[in-house]
């Protein structure tokens, strides 16, 4: 009996079983991360201080990217996540405008605070879900292209930009659906 071969065979069986477990649970865990951060973004819309609400929402999106990366064991630094988050937010400009308007309205005490939060809530929810979809799409394209080879921060940024540039109508449709799902 070759002890090393027996250990190797058992390790291979274990990895296959763990892969099966991951195949069944990991996708839902990633969806849960995106949805949790969308809810956090809605919560940030209710922060009464103009500007702080938008910063909290952006931090939620960056945190979502980091948590997804941790879940799939793809370590990238905070700076690249912020850079990607800013790029995605820029491409979701209509939601940034609604959020900025909602945040500005909060300068009016009472009714302005509530009105601004209501205005921002659906926009933040949809923008965060769309940001998650864009990021997952970019990671998928990158994984297909790299096939297990090392992935650089530049590769990731390029993949995100590719999704943003080539999926404008899909992103709009996704956002429209996300807004409708928020209102339910």
The whole-angstrom separation of Cα 95 and Cα 116 is 13
What is the per-residue pLDDT across 152-161, written as a single tens digit (0 to 9) for each? 778 888 888 8
Kindly state the percentage of the chain with pLDDT values over 90.
6
Rg for the chain, CA atoms, rounded? 20
* Residue whose pair of structure tokens reads 């400009």 in the numeric block: 93
The pLDDT mean for the chain works out to 80
Q: What is the pTM of this model?
A: 0.78
- Please report the pLDDT score of residue 169 as a whole number: 85
Q: What percent of the chain has pLDDT over 70?
A: 82
């Amino acid at each position: 009996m070759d002890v090393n071969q027996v250990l190797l065979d058992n390790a291979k069986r274990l990895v296959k079983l763990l892969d099966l477990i991951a195949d069944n649970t990991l996708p839902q865990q990633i969806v849960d991360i995106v949805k949790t951060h969308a809810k956090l973004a809605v919560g940030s819309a209710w922060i009464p201080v103009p500007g702080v609400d938008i910063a909290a929402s952006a931090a939620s999106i960056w945190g979502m990217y980091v948590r997804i990366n941790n879940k799939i064991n793809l370590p990238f630094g905070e700076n690249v996540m912020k850079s990607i988050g800013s790029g995605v937010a820029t491409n979701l400009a209509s939601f940034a405008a609604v959020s900025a308007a909602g945040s500005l309205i909060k300068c009016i005490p009472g009714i302005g605070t509530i009105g601004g939060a209501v205005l921002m809530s659906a926009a933040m929810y949809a923008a965060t879900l769309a940001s998650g979809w864009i990021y997952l799409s970019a990671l998928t394209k990158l994984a297909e292209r790299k096939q297990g080879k090392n992935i650089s921060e530049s590769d990731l940024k390029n993949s995100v930009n590719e999704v943003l540039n080539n999926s404008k109508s899909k992103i709009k449709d996704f956002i429209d659906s996300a807004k409708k799902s928020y209102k339910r």
